[in-house]
Each structure stands twice: as C-alpha cells, then as structure tokens.
Amino acid sequence: MVDERNRGPDEVLFEFRVIGSTVRVAALDAATGIEVTVLGPASAARADMERLALAKLRVRLARAGPDG
C-alpha cells in the first residue's frame, strides 16, 4: 500500500538561471504543470538547490490535492 501523502511527483523538470550572484531554480511537475521557484546564491551546490526546489514543489502539490 502506497501512502499518497508522501508520494513525490513522478517527473520533475528543473531550470537553473544565474542572475548576477543569485541562481533562480524552477521545478516543474510534468504531470500537473505546477511550477515553483526558489532563489539562492549562485555559489550554492546544484544538488542542494534541486532538493530545496523539490521540497517546495512537494508542499505545493500536497496543498493542491489529488486533483491538481
């Protein structure tokens, strides 16, 4: 049995855009089209920024409910 509340998105697309000393990371859930963005220092590790964006996306998807 799968706990749907803890289930993450199946496919997530990330976009990284450096703006001066800042990086903007967009995370897009391919199934629903829901997108979130986070900002951080351009020196931050890519994996850390992906984790942060994914965590924010999971919260946003949970708030949207099963119907998106």
- C-alpha closest to that of 37 among 27, 52, 23: 27
Phi and psi torsions of 51, nearest 5° = -60, -45
Burial class (CB in 10 A: 0-12, 13-18, 19+), 6: exposed
| 10-residue mean pLDDT series, the chain (68 residues) | 52 96 97 96 97 96 77
**pLDDT of the residue at 10:** 85
Rounded to whole angstroms, how far apart are CA atoms 27 and 33?
A: 10
**pLDDT of the residue at 3:** 40
**pLDDT of the residue at 2:** 37
Give this prediction's pTM.
0.81
Rounded to whole angstroms, how far apart are CA atoms 58 and 51?
A: 10
**pLDDT of the residue at 42:** 97
**pLDDT of the residue at 53:** 98
Residue type, 43: S
